[in-house]
Amino acid sequence: MGRRTPGTMRLVVDQLSVDRGGRRVLQSVGFAAEPGDAVVVVGPNGAGKSTLLAALAGLLAAAEGAVRLEGAPDPEAPARDYIHYVGHREALKSALTLRETLDFWAAMLDCGATGLTDYPALDADAALAEMRLSHALDLPVGYLSAGQRRRTTLARLFVAPARSGFWTSR
């Protein structure tokens, strides 16, 4: 990993352990990622890959260890304040149009309006343009291909960006 640029953040996972259902699923996981780095998580079913991502996003509590962002604007804020989690379940309603879907998520997450983000929120039109879906703006989600549904899910990150732009996906 290269040198850090002033004002950049570094994701640090330090001896992270997570319990689920009364058993230890992750034990002493540690790594660091600089902006632009990729972390590849591999393993067999049940190895804890999804658990790790959920713990990074703050959706699961650590039994031991820590997840932190070095260089975050608010060093007291938990890392989850800067992380979006995009899982394999798309959270899309088939009857809603793409515009309605993104307008819903923008209102629900309300990240851009709070002034807490380093990235300005886009409206539905601009977000879908970024994902090359402008042609489908008023089309119900149920008519979309799997790839278009995935891009709609990612467009949600543009209408409600996390504070730092660190995003997770699986």
Work out the average pLDDT over 20-25: 92
Specify whether 61 is located in the same domain as 122.
Answer: no
- Each residue's pLDDT tens digit, 54-108: 999 888 999 999 999 898 888 888 888 777 777 777 888 999 999 999 988 888 7
pLDDT bucket at 8, cuts 50 / 70 / 90: confident
Residue span of the structural domain in which 114 resides: 98-169
Q: What three-state secondary structure class fits 57?
A: coil
**Residues 115, 157: one domain?**
yes
Does the residue 135 lie in any domain? yes
pLDDT at 142 over 90: yes
* Residue 156 resides in a domain: yes
CB neighbours of 59 closer than 8 A, spacing ≥ 6? Answer: 80, 85
